[in-house]
Structure 1
Amino acid sequence: MADSNSKATEEQSVAEYYTQEFKPREYLDKHFSAFKGEDDKECVQLFIMDHLHQTFGSGIFQGKRLLDIGTGPSVLSVLSASKYFPDITCSDYLPVCREELQKWVDGDPEAFDWGAYFRYISKLEGNSSSPDEIAARLRKAIKSVVHCDVKQSNPLCTESVDPFDVVVSSFCLELACDSPDQYRAGVGNMASLVKPGGGLVLLGDFKNNIIVETEKFADFELNEAFLRDALVSHGCTDIEIKQVSMVDEWPCEFFYATARKI
């Protein structure tokens, strides 16, 4: 899901609007500053962190190299992964998002403060690592923050890339894709970066809600059958899909999908 303080014009697509006008720090300040940990009962941040913690802690996907596609300016999708994967590549389409994330990686004092999230992850991990230790291990694990485009057959837009042990993407395809066909192709583009036997983890919203100021854009909705078929058609097996109904700015049908590349 995505949001901003400005309103897209009728002439702009939502994707064009974000490319031209999205302000990542304003987005973080608005949606991430008031996090209260487990007291936030219906909170997309908890949905992301809890599910990823369970997946990586279970050991179903192992290895060294993990790619996060559409990281945005946030570290949520790689917090738990940093305990198990020492080589993490973060990626995003927008330069401003990559710059905001890189500020935190570089230890810039003006970067967003993720302390509340490190404290929450520390509790999930049984306080085996302190919040400061989690921040340090995450900075060490993130090896690069690079450009990506999920509409390209190789989302990293390089001539060649070694496949990853795990690829993760959270609420990225909803923003980038304008149709079910584009979404299906995007799933395939991501899956192409997973090595045989590796894992693909997708988080999203079946209602495909994109929030701009107080208006909701949802050109098409998805469902479990569509997502499962897209994963199978792109060489995935052992597919598990969980759904959680939640009211954020609008009613949402969040999903959490894991699959193994054949």
Structure 2
Amino acid sequence: MHNETLHTRDYLTEFGTNDYLSAYTRFKTIPWFMEHIKGLVRVFVNNSSHLGNERALEFGGGPTLVSSFVLAQYVQSITFSEYVPNNLKAVNDWINQVDGAFDWTNVFNFIIEQYHQQTGITLSLSECEQRLRTGLQRGGVLRIADVNEQSGCSVLDNPDNYNQFDIILSSFCLEDACLTKETYEKTVERLCMLLKPGGFLVLAHGRNQTFYYVNDKRFFAQYMNEQSARETLERMNLINIQTSAVDRTPNEYSDSDGYFIACGYKKK
């Protein structure tokens, strides 16, 4: 493994999209990941009666469709945004059913199982996938800029997006993208500007993490925990703030000791 820590612009040349996706082919051998999916589903089930159903934004989605699949069961339109072109291509390939696109069937079925266990409602895989494709086609798949530059982001800095989204979800992104705590807080503030009054912000992060590996490439992660995220959301004047966490054992691939979700509502 390489010990040099990569970040920001290095993602454009060093991030292995296929290597990252390969973890999802064996996700049932990764207990913390299954627990994270259960927790994400639980957050939305528990808050479902308070959610608007029109537009959602996934910010920094990587090459994965786990979070957007959950979102698709609640909203009509999903704007998927990401920094790395190869990650966007992986998402577009699935939307357009390109030969060789990553097969999410096993992961999606696991999400459906969790939804059934928590609600008693049985969902159809084909119908859920169609909801996801339709939602992404309506909202669009967009490239975003480096958040450390503080301006020039097609999503964050577009006044037409202010107060437009019922739900904004960012999963395992901001702690890796934001090089300082100040940039993290500013990015969360910019995301909050896009929420409708009463809108729901959901953030998932590695806990107490400073690095993670994709294949043999070591990437920066900002040290965060439930308390620091809660304090940020409080400074954004969000209400009904909730946190939940999943423990894991640090190893040579990541020094995170868990993953957590922090969420809250924009005041009406």
Q: TM-score range by the shorter chain?
A: 0.7 to 0.9
Query: Quick check: 1:43 aligned with 2:32?
Result: yes
- What amino acid sits opposite 2:43 in the alignment? T
CA distance in 2, matches of 1:236, 1:62: 16
Write out aligned runs for 1:150-169 (5 A): 150-151=147-148, 152=150, 156=155, 157-162=157-162, 163-169=164-170
Unaligned runs of 5+ in 2: none
CA distance in 2, matches of 1:209, 1:133: 39
- What amino acid sits opposite 2:79 in the alignment? T
- Of 226, 237, 252 in structure 2, the residue corresponding to residue 224 of structure 1 is 226
Query: Quick check: 1:92 aligned with 2:82?
Result: yes
Calculate percent identity across the aligned residue pairs.
Answer: 27
- What amino acid sits opposite 1:119 in the alignment? N
Query: Quick check: 1:241 aligned with 2:243?
Result: yes
Checking the alignment, whether the CA contact within 8 Å between 1:69 and 1:92 is kept in structure 2 is yes
- What amino acid sits opposite 1:203 in the alignment? A
- Of 253, 256, 259 in structure 1, the residue corresponding to residue 261 of structure 2 is 256
Alignment deviations for residues 189-217 of structure 1 (CA, whole Å, 9 cap, x no partner) = 22221111110000001313431345766
- What amino acid sits opposite 1:128 in the alignment? T
Q: 1:147 Cα shift?
A: 1.6
TM-score normalised by the chain length of structure 1: 0.85
Structure 1 match to 2:60: 70
- Is the alpha carbon distance of 1:91 and 1:131 closer, same or farther for their aligned partners in structure 2, counting shifts above 3 Å? same
Structure 1 match to 2:202: 201
The structure that is helix-richer by fraction is: 2
Checking the alignment, whether the CA contact within 8 Å between 1:118 and 1:131 is kept in structure 2 is yes
Structure 2 match to 1:3: none
Query: Quick check: 1:109 aligned with 2:90?
Result: no
Checking the alignment, whether the CA contact within 8 Å between 2:7 and 2:220 is kept in structure 1 is no
Structure 1 match to 2:25: 33
- What amino acid sits opposite 1:184 in the alignment? E
Write out aligned runs for 1:12-27 (5 A): 13-27=6-20
Q: Name the SS of the counterpart of 1:107 in structure 2.
A: coil
- Is the alpha carbon distance of 1:25 and 1:223 closer, same or farther for their aligned partners in structure 2, counting shifts above 3 Å? closer
- Is the alpha carbon distance of 1:235 and 1:32 closer, same or farther for their aligned partners in structure 2, counting shifts above 3 Å? same
Q: Name the SS of the counterpart of 2:248 in structure 1.
A: strand
Q: Name the SS of the counterpart of 1:73 in structure 2.
A: coil
- Is the alpha carbon distance of 1:137 and 1:217 closer, same or farther for their aligned partners in structure 2, counting shifts above 3 Å? closer
- What amino acid sits opposite 2:17 in the alignment? P
- What amino acid sits opposite 1:71 in the alignment? G
- Of 143, 155, 170 in structure 2, the residue corresponding to residue 147 of structure 1 is 143
Unaligned runs of 5+ in 1: 1-5
Checking the alignment, whether the CA contact within 8 Å between 1:209 and 1:252 is kept in structure 2 is no
**RMSD over equivalenced CA pairs, Å:** 2.4
- Is the alpha carbon distance of 1:23 and 1:222 closer, same or farther for their aligned partners in structure 2, counting shifts above 3 Å? closer
- Of 126, 130, 141 in structure 2, the residue corresponding to residue 136 of structure 1 is 130
CA distance in 2, matches of 1:125, 1:194: 25
- Is the alpha carbon distance of 1:33 and 1:139 closer, same or farther for their aligned partners in structure 2, counting shifts above 3 Å? same
Checking the alignment, whether the CA contact within 8 Å between 1:179 and 1:219 is kept in structure 2 is no
- What amino acid sits opposite 1:90 in the alignment? F
- What amino acid sits opposite 1:83 in the alignment? Q
